[in-house]
Amino acid sequence: MKGIKILGIGAFAPSNVVSNDDFSKIVDTSDEWIYSRTGMKKRHLSKGEPTWFLAKSACEDALKKSGLKAEDIDLIIVATITPDYFTPSMACIIQRELGIEKCIAVDVNAACSGFIYGIDMASKYIACGDARNAIVVGAENLSKITDYTDRASCVLFGDGAGACVLTAGEGTFATYLGADGSGAKFMVARQIPPRNMIINGDEPEFDDGIPKSKEHYLFMDGKEVYKFAIKALPHAVEMACKKAGISVEDIALIIPHQANIRIIETAAQRLGVPMDKMQVNIEEYGNTSSASIPLALNEAYEKGKVKKGDKVCLVGFGAGLTYGAVLYEI
């Protein structure tokens, strides 16, 4: 499989910052509890900026840094679980906003693994020649679906977007993806049910095996997701290494999904990797689902934590349940 090269990374987060203390004004919680259980201090929450706006801002940043022009992009993939519309896709809106006349544009929903799934798809389009350059962006307004009366989940989530411009590259490259739908019930935000004016009153009930959550708000069984995450993260890294024919020690930096510092620490321990090889920015952003990995990736590049020839592993897990890793060489 041909490799990828990241030409530019961009990020955007709403300017509105909410602290742990802000949450203690609306639910029974404290800075001490949130920080010690999750590693989070702040998160950026949209004051009305729509998801497409977050995505577009991150894409513009990535495009500018890549040195490419909008017309060089043949493929846009937006990873999100909080799009603004059933239709059109966020990707078509981004295409319009970037002024790209013709390209392939599609959204993917793989929750917090969405950016990983997006990179995997883009790499395959690039390898087969259907795209020269692609933009993959993870963008979320999790505040749309967060239940701000549920202290166990509302403190965890933030809004933001991260994007990267990709092209074909050389060197180590492997992706490893998976899903386990038996865990679909552990993290749920329900859509509106089918209802219409023609058939009314005698609709059959369908049991989808998912507990009835409150309206469209996110329900999460934190303990089950936690148990899954501490297995899925090391597994995905190890499998990507195996596919690439390298060992975990060869990785210069791991960029994990930022869901909980304890999950990241446990994954590092299981992989036998020191914490300074794990990129962490959870204090600043909380969990931004599909935006979390590219936001952390952007920070790693901006802080000069990686250099040419380094092997980097992006790894995520999320609702679905989904998981996956992308291993590439800079």
Per CB under 6 A, contacts with ligand ACO among 263-302 are 287, 289
Q: Yes or no: say if 253 and 306 are a contact pair by the CB < 8 Å rule.
A: yes
- HSE-up (13 A, CA, CB side) for residue 27: 17
Least distance to ligand ACO, CB of residue 65, Å? 27
Least distance to ligand ACO, CB of residue 81, Å? 7
Least distance to ligand ACO, CB of residue 299, Å? 19
Angle at Cα 178 formed by Cα 176 and Cα 183, nearest 5°? 155
**Binder to ligand ACO among 6, 103, 164, 229 (CB under 6 A)?**
229
Cβ neighbours of residue 188 under 8 Å, at least 6 residues apart? 210, 211, 213, 218, 219, 220, 319
Integer Cα distance of 43 and 159 in angstroms: 7
In the complex with ligand ACO, the residue whose CB is nearer, 105 or 280, is 280
Question: Parallel, antiparallel, or unpaired: how do β-strands 17-19 and 3-12 relate?
Answer: unpaired
In the complex with ligand ACO, the residue whose CB is nearer, 151 or 231, is 151
Q: Is residue 239 involved in binding ligand ACO (CB under 6 A)? A: no
How much helix, strand and coil, in percent to the nearest 5, is found in the chain? 40, 25, 35
Segment (H or E) for 11: strand 3-12
Integer Cα distance of 91 and 108 in angstroms: 9
How many beta carbons lie within 10 A of that of residue 61, not counting itself?
19
Query: Catalytic residue at 287?
Result: yes
Least distance to ligand ACO, CB of residue 187, Å? 5
In the complex with ligand ACO, the residue whose CB is nearer, 79 or 155, is 155
**Binder to ligand ACO among 11, 38, 76, 282 (CB under 6 A)?**
38
How many beta carbons lie within 10 A of that of residue 293, not counting itself?
29
Q: Is residue 33 involved in binding ligand ACO (CB under 6 A)? A: yes
Per CB under 6 A, contacts with ligand ACO among 58-97 are none
**Binder to ligand ACO among 79, 116, 187, 237 (CB under 6 A)?**
187
**Among residues 20, 141, 257, 313, which one is catalytic?**
257
Q: Is residue 220 involved in binding ligand ACO (CB under 6 A)? A: yes
DSSP helix/strand/coil, 14? coil
Query: Catalytic residue at 133?
Result: no
In the complex with ligand ACO, the residue whose CB is nearer, 73 or 136, is 136
Query: Catalytic residue at 200?
Result: no
Q: Yes or no: say if 218 and 153 are a contact pair by the CB < 8 Å rule.
A: yes
Least distance to ligand ACO, CB of residue 64, Å? 29
In the complex with ligand ACO, the residue whose CB is nearer, 32 or 130, is 32
Q: Yes or no: say if 113 and 316 are a contact pair by the CB < 8 Å rule.
A: yes
The catalytic residue positions are 112, 257, 287
List interacting residues with ligand ACO (CB under 6 A): 29, 33-34, 37-38, 111-112, 151-152, 155, 187, 220, 222-223, 225-226, 229, 259-260, 287, 289, 318-319
